[in-house]
A and B are shown apart, each in its own frame.
Chain A
Amino acid sequence: MEGGKIGRLDIPFKCLPSFHLHKVINMHTSEFRPLDVERIRKDFPIFATEPPLAFLDNAASTQTARPVVDAMDAYYDTYRSNIHRGIYRISEQATEAYEHAREKVAQLINAPRTRQIIFTRNTTESINLVAHSWGNANIREGDEIVLTVMEHHSNLVPWQLLAQRTGAVLRFLEITDEGLLDFTQFRDLLTEKTKLVAMGHVSNVLGTINPIQSVIEAAHAVGAKVVVDAAQSVPHFHVDVQQLDCDFLAFSGHKMCGPTGIGVLYGQLELLEEMPPFLGGGSMIRAVERDVSTYAELPAKFEAGTPSIAEAIGLGHAVDYLTQTNLAAIHVHEQELLKYAHQCLKEIEGITLYGPSAPHQKAGVISFNIEGVHPHDVAGILDTHGVAIRAGHHCAQPLMKRLDVIATVRASFYLYNTVEDVDRLSEGLCRAQKLMTRRK
């Protein structure tokens, strides 16, 4: 058969979406000014090709907005210098830009004080900072750390290492078959032994939005601290650390239209002040003797060495970009794309969708498998159609075990994605399904 050429395969009509987005979007238009996606896409030169790239791997890393790149270029072209101790104009300018970025990040998540924002490389480093600095000082043998089975490895392995160092015990919160937290089990897990709860705000695989505020309240009631992995939430909707009352919160710049190499740790002021340094070196000291040093105030205490200056400046501009675009509108846009994708994808033969079925319980992430087709083959075929999605374990191997799969295919949305992107995804999936199961 001529099926070897993917482009020539006939797509059965039922695979193609038979409805349009406007039917599901109307309910929100009175509350929010919908995103001007066409205008937004002009800020991302990668979409200028024809046909445009359908980039649906935003949960891994997003595209960088042009104003972000411009701001970083301006630093490199006009005031490139090290920060904090230079007694000359461009160093002062760089210091100001770097610290201004910190203010923007603090405002984004409503941190009470700017010095509660620590710049790191990424979410992973932020969590490792807490695990080493707070963890080594506060976790003892027999203490319990509560995690969920859906954690990204970045919010699991640092706690495994801490448990190995200290003799603490890891406890895991299960999920329902729909991918929701079992909150009754959570209350049972919490005891006076619980010293820490570390939880993703939004699952990077299932998209589940966890009831993080209730989690924090319950954890605080037994005296436990809470670390929130907000890598998948801060870029997509408004997160308020004072409202949540979380103890620590971590996220990455590269998942929010910013550059790689810059991440954020927010912490409660008294915790950060009590914590010993994580990395030692320049910038984090007050005075250094031969054998001993005193340490700088926050946030410098946790920012040893020359930081990612351009990247921090870039992140500040990414915050501006998202705020000006309006995070609430971004969230609604993603919800609509998610609903539309759900409707399209569930029509595909042999598909299994993972995660909550109610859109309000999940963010713009959709994980699935097609019977008889390996996720990597799905990704490979979609790639030939200009659709970038992710296939694999998504750094969440315990979750893969819980779902009893080796891997899944994952599409994840952001502000610049369109209905056409979803259409191309579902068309490509139909073709993959036909091609790979043609003789079965």
Chain B
Amino acid sequence: MNIYQEELLDHYENPSNYGTLPNPDISHEEDNPLCGDQIRIDLLVKDDKIKEVRFSGHGCTISMAAASMLTEKIAGKSLDEVKHLTKDDMLAMVGIPLGPVRIKCALLPLKVLKSGAYGINCWPGEEDE
């Protein structure tokens, strides 16, 4: 019963940083072929800090809310700091237990971010295996 808590639904219904940037320094889009969820993240970077961030796309509550939470978390941070965000950080943000299929929904935004910003092309968590 702890899936779809209030906080998650709030992020889904009123996502933070939803949209696109006109001239992003980094823009990357990926999808989850398993369910068709698709997320694009645009970043404006100044002095190695994320000045502005937007996400767009479509997907389930988990992936959309996770993207909203992630963009809140990384806004204003340095690229170096953000690079160290892990799978567990992302799952802690989402804050609800997820099965192996839905975990990919929660991790898709982080995957898009890492792939776009650092060229890390695997699912978060798989790089250390």
Q: Are B35 and A4 in contact (CB under 8 A)?
A: no
With a cutoff of 8 Å between Cβ atoms, the chain A residues found around residue B36 in the complex are 392-393, 400, 406-407
CB distance from A343 to the nearest CB of B (A): 28
A349 within 8 A of B: no
CB distance from A153 to the nearest CB of B (A): 12
A7 to B59 CA separation, bound complex (whole angstroms): 24
A6 to B37 CA separation, bound complex (whole angstroms): 24
A297 within 8 A of B: no
Q: Give A400's nearest chain B residue, CB to CB.
A: B36
Q: Are B3 and A392 in contact (CB under 8 A)?
A: no
Given A376-B35, A381-B4: A435 and B102 interface contact (C-beta under 8 Å): no
CB distance from B10 to the nearest CB of A (A): 9
Q: Which of B3, B35, B58, B59 contacts A381 (CB 8 A)?
A: B3
A436 within 8 A of B: yes
A406 to B34 CA separation, bound complex (whole angstroms): 10
B48 within 8 A of A: no
Q: Are B1 and A7 in contact (CB under 8 A)?
A: yes
Q: Which of A408-440 contact B (CB under 8 A)?
A: 435-436, 439-440
Q: Are B60 and A392 in contact (CB under 8 A)?
A: no
A384 within 8 A of B: yes
Q: Which of A1-36 contact B (CB under 8 A)?
A: 4-7
CB distance from B68 to the nearest CB of A (A): 15
Q: Are B4 and A6 in contact (CB under 8 A)?
A: yes
Contact-residue size bin, chain B (C-beta under 8 Å from the other chain): 10 to 19
B5 within 8 A of A: yes
A159 to B58 CA separation, bound complex (whole angstroms): 32
Q: Which of B4, B58, B105 contacts A406 (CB 8 A)?
A: B58
Q: Give A385's nearest chain B residue, CB to CB.
A: B1
Given A380-B102, A384-B1, A407-B36: A436 and B61 interface contact (C-beta under 8 Å): yes
Q: Are B4 and A380 in contact (CB under 8 A)?
A: yes
Q: Which of B40-67 contact A (CB under 8 A)?
A: 58-62
Q: Are A435 and B1 in contact (CB under 8 A)?
A: no
With a cutoff of 8 Å between Cβ atoms, the chain B residues found around residue A381 in the complex are 3-4
Contact with A along B1-33 (1 / 0, CB 8 A): 101111001000100000000000000000000
With a cutoff of 8 Å between Cβ atoms, the chain B residues found around residue A435 in the complex are 4, 9
A342 to B78 CA separation, bound complex (whole angstroms): 54
With a cutoff of 8 Å between Cβ atoms, the chain B residues found around residue A141 in the complex are none
CB distance from B35 to the nearest CB of A (A): 5
A377 within 8 A of B: yes
Most chain B CB within 10 A, of A4, A5, A384, is at: A4
With a cutoff of 8 Å between Cβ atoms, the chain A residues found around residue B34 in the complex are 392
A376 to B105 CA separation, bound complex (whole angstroms): 10
Most chain B CB within 10 A, of A376, A400, A407, A440, is at: A376
Q: Which of A168-197 contact B (CB under 8 A)?
A: none
CB distance from B96 to the nearest CB of A (A): 10
Given A374-B61, A393-B36, A406-B36: A380 and B3 interface contact (C-beta under 8 Å): yes
Q: Give B101's nearest chain A residue, CB to CB.
A: A376
A380 to B1 CA separation, bound complex (whole angstroms): 10
With a cutoff of 8 Å between Cβ atoms, the chain A residues found around residue B59 in the complex are 374, 376
A374 to B35 CA separation, bound complex (whole angstroms): 10
CB distance from A429 to the nearest CB of B (A): 14
CB distance from B100 to the nearest CB of A (A): 13
Q: Are A374 and B60 in contact (CB under 8 A)?
A: yes
CB distance from A397 to the nearest CB of B (A): 9
Given A393-B36, A407-B36, A435-B9: A376 and B4 interface contact (C-beta under 8 Å): no
With a cutoff of 8 Å between Cβ atoms, the chain B residues found around residue A375 in the complex are 35, 60
A262 to B115 CA separation, bound complex (whole angstroms): 40
With a cutoff of 8 Å between Cβ atoms, the chain A residues found around residue B60 in the complex are 374-377, 380
A384 to B37 CA separation, bound complex (whole angstroms): 22
Given A4-B5, A381-B4, A406-B58: A392 and B13 interface contact (C-beta under 8 Å): no
A375 to B60 CA separation, bound complex (whole angstroms): 7
Q: Which of A244-270 contact B (CB under 8 A)?
A: none
Most chain B CB within 10 A, of A380, A381, A391, A436, is at: A380
Contact with B along A356-380 (1 / 0, CB 8 A): 0000000000000000001111001
CB distance from A18 to the nearest CB of B (A): 28
Q: Which residues of B contact A (CB under 8 A)?
A: 1, 3-6, 9, 13, 34-37, 58-62, 102, 105
Q: A374-B61, A377-B61, A391-B35 are in contact. List 15 more A-B contacts (CB 8 A).
A: A4-B4, A4-B5, A4-B6, A375-B35, A376-B62, A377-B62, A380-B3, A380-B60, A380-B62, A381-B3, A384-B1, A406-B58, A407-B35, A435-B9, A439-B13
Identify 25 residue pairs between A and B in the complex whose beta-carbon atoms are under 8 Å apart, listed by A's number. A4-B4, A4-B6, A4-B9, A6-B4, A374-B59, A374-B61, A375-B35, A375-B60, A376-B35, A376-B60, A377-B62, A380-B3, A380-B60, A380-B61, A380-B102, A381-B3, A381-B4, A384-B3, A391-B35, A393-B35, A406-B35, A407-B36, A435-B9, A436-B61, A439-B13
4 closest cross-chain pairs (CB), A and B: A406-B36, A376-B60, A4-B6, A374-B60
